[in-house]
Amino acid sequence: MSRVTIADVASAAGVSKTAVSFAFNNPERLGHATLERVLGVARDLGYTPHPAARALSMRRNGTIGVLIPQRLSTVFANPFLSELIQGLGELCEEHDLTLLLVPPLDGSLESAIRQASVDGFISLGLSPDDRAFEVLDGIGIPTVLIDSEDSFGHPVVNVDDRGGAEAAAKHLLQQGHRNVTIVLLPPARSQVESTPTATRRLAGYHAAFEAAGAPPPETVTAGVSIAGGTRAFESLPRGKRQPTGLLAMSDMAAIGVMNAAQAAGVRVPEDLSVVGFDDIPLSAWTNPPLTTVHQPIVEKGRLAARMLIERMKGRGVDSPAPLNTSLVIRGSTSAPRNSDLPIGRR
């Protein structure tokens, strides 16, 4: 059977070949109805211009793409990625595969997906309803999600974000903190209000405060970098409203908060207790060492790569149970100087 061509799709959809090209490469140039008609016809005919999809059937690329929703300069500011890539790389070496980082192309993740010549994708931090998955599904390329939600056709690797966050919040509450601020993870993409990871962690923090009958914490959003943590600290209220405890959804933001606090004469942990999340290697070497939630980042990458390789071989893969997290208590937390009355339980 001959391969379906762009002319075949154009004829069946009643449009020009240029319109078909726009549908796959510049969809914003078509009206919604035309775009849907062209993509529907292409799907029915089995047409795809994607070089990766053609190469996949012949197993020629030998490459796994890591789909990253932010710019590389942003992502590499957080050592979390290097830990994750270590896990991914271990499996790639075992199977003679290479890794390709795929950030947005000219601001478009969808364009980057279409241009990447890979045998499969590992998606980092995207919600299953993100429009990038429409492109992935249209291409029909195997995909495994990390830090997302269960989705039909896309298995996901997560950690126990909610349980880890709840343990972190309980730790501050048991120390006597009531005035606490949460540093939220930023959206993965401009049109996404909150990542699945941030939603789960926020739920864990709130569960601990509700169970303790404590006032709900304030929130501030910061990037997963030291600069983001610095900005978060600068946005905190001062005087009597200044928090005595802070829960950051990433270690790098927590470290940025500690650095900015100490530069402003705010002592950690005497004036401000700080808890991070991730347990990157640097967290054990800060001054003071950072109390944080450990997640098995390397193992998460290793498991995701193993699952994707199975999918690339045409085998079915189910999402595993979330990997365990654990609280690591170090020197960045203590009881507040003017501790409130003990927090009771409801």
pTM: 0.80
CB contact at 8 A, 63 and 92 = no
Tokens 């006032």, located at residue: 215
Structure tokens at 195: 């990542």
Look at residue 66 and tell me whether its pLDDT is greater than 80: yes
Residue 155 lies in a domain: no
CB contact at 8 A, 38 and 19 = yes
State residue 154 phi and psi, 5-degree precision: -130, 95
Look at residue 65 and tell me whether its pLDDT is greater than 80: yes
Look at residue 343 and tell me whether its pLDDT is greater than 60: no
Q: Is 99 helix (H, G, I), strand (E, B) or coil?
A: strand
Residue 335 lies in a domain: no
Residue 111 lies in a domain: no
Write out the DSSP string of 235-279: TS--GGGS-SEEEESSHHHHHHHHHHHHHTT--TTTT-EEEEEE-
Same domain as 41, residue 165: no
pLDDT class for 144, splitting at 50, 70, 90? very high
Distance CA 118, CA 24 (A): 17
Residue 88: burial class (beta carbons within 10 Å; 0-12, 13-18, 19+): buried
- How confident is the model at residue 60, as a pLDDT? 55
Residue 169 lies in a domain: yes
CA–CA distances in Å: residue 136 to residues 59, 84, 318, 320: 18, 22, 18, 22
Span 23-48, pLDDT tens digits:
877 777 788 888 888 888 888 888 86
Over range 41-61, report the average pLDDT. 63
Look at residue 247 and tell me whether its pLDDT is greater than 60: yes
Residue 241 lies in a domain: yes
Q: Which residue has the higher pLDDT, 70 or 215?
A: 215
Span 71-122, pLDDT tens digits:
887 777 889 999 999 999 999 998 889 999 999 888 788 889 988 889 999 9
Look at residue 3 and tell me whether its pLDDT is greater than 80: no
Tokens 């990458």, located at residue: 301
pLDDT class for 186, splitting at 50, 70, 90? confident
Q: What percent of the chain has pLDDT over 90?
A: 56
Look at residue 140 and tell me whether its pLDDT is greater than 80: yes
Q: Which residue has the higher pLDDT, 322 or 5?
A: 322
Query: Last residue of a domain, which of 295, 313, 329?
Result: 295
Residue 68 lies in a domain: no
Angle made by CA atoms 273, 275, 277, in degrees to the nearest 5 = 170
Span 195-235, pLDDT tens digits:
899 999 999 999 999 999 999 999 999 888 999 999 999 99
State the average pLDDT for the chain. 88
Structure tokens at 54: 């053609």
Among positive and negative, which fits the CA dihedral 156, 184, 193, 131?
Answer: negative
Quote the number of domains for the chain: 2
| Closest among 333, 259, 336, 339 to 293, alpha carbons compared | 333
CATH number at residue 275: 3.40.50.2300
Q: Which residue has the higher pLDDT, 194 or 262?
A: 262
- State the Cα torsion 161-235-107-10 to the nearest 10°: 70
CATH number at residue 15: 1.10.260.40
Query: In the 8-state DSSP scheme, what is residue 149?
Result: -
Distance CA 56, CA 44 (A): 19
| Structural domain of 258 | 161-295
Residue 233 lies in a domain: yes
Structure tokens at 107: 């601001």
Residue 190 lies in a domain: yes
